[in-house]
Amino acid sequence: MLFCLLLGFAAMSMAQEQGATTQKSKCGSQDCQTVMKLKKEYIETNFTLTEEQKVPFWNAFDAYAKAEYDAFQKSREAMNAAGIDHHVSADSIQYLSDQQIVSLYTIRLETRRNLLEAENAFLKAISQCLSAQQVNEYFQLERKFKRSAASHKKNAASKATPANKEKCPPKSMEAAPAKSVH
């Protein structure tokens, strides 16, 4: 969930730089979908696959992205059904009813479980078409993308005016030369 929030904030700052007005971003919003697209482009640019690996890897990647999207959509719907604003902050949880607090944490745990199941299925699928070293390289690239998105969010939030904000994606997310994988 943190990943999507970070990606959503990065996309939100990008939209604000372009003069667009946006709401807070969560998966399921146009902003999060944009950042998910940026992630895919980043992986495509920086991850070397053979022709035989491309179709099964990208099928698994797309299934994983859909499962993440579905998990966050389900979470958002459950929170709406429980009468909880899906933008609830840690500081405002104390103002929820007892039933809403329990529902909130139940929904969050269910979302984590769904995300872990999706990630496990993704790992199992890519392990069938990639070497162990390539699996490791993929997860390192994904982690680098997440750190870059988080760093960009932090930098964008600290800038006083939209005109001074760094363009998305940050330089650290620009395409680096692809590593050759055996």
The amino acid present at 36, given as its one-letter code, is: M
Backbone angles phi, psi at 124, to 5 degrees: -60, -40
The domain in which residue 145 lies consists of 2-167
Tens-digit pLDDT profile for residues 22-74: 334 445 456 677 888 899 999 999 999 999 999 999 999 999 999 999 999 99
pTM beyond 0.75: no
Q: Say if 155 falls within a structural domain.
A: yes
Q: Say if 180 falls within a structural domain.
A: no
Q: Is residue 43 within 8 Å of 178, Cβ to Cβ?
A: no
C-alpha 156/C-alpha 13 separation (Å) is 6
Q: Say if 17 falls within a structural domain.
A: yes
Residue-level pLDDT, tens digit, the chain, 182 residues: 444 444 444 444 443 333 333 334 445 456 677 888 899 999 999 999 999 999 999 999 999 999 999 999 999 999 999 999 988 888 899 999 999 999 999 999 999 999 999 999 999 999 999 999 999 999 999 999 989 887 777 776 666 444 444 444 434 444 444 444 44
**∠76-61-10 over CA atoms, to 5°?**
55
DSSP track, the chain = -HHHHHHHHHHHHHHHHTT---PPP-BTBHHHHHHHHHHHHHHHHH----HHHHHHHHHHHHHHHHHHHHHHHHHHHHHHHTT--TT--GGGGGGS-HHHHHHHHHHHHHHHHHHHHHHHHHHHHHHTTS-HHHHHHHHHHHHHHHHHHHHHHHHHHH-SSGGGSPPSSPGGGSPPPPPP--
Q: Return the C-alpha torsion angle 167, 152, 133, 50, nearest 10.
A: -20
Number of domains in the chain: 1
Q: Is the dihedral of CA 137, 140, 146, 147 positive or negative?
A: negative
Q: Say if 174 falls within a structural domain.
A: no
Q: Say if 175 falls within a structural domain.
A: no
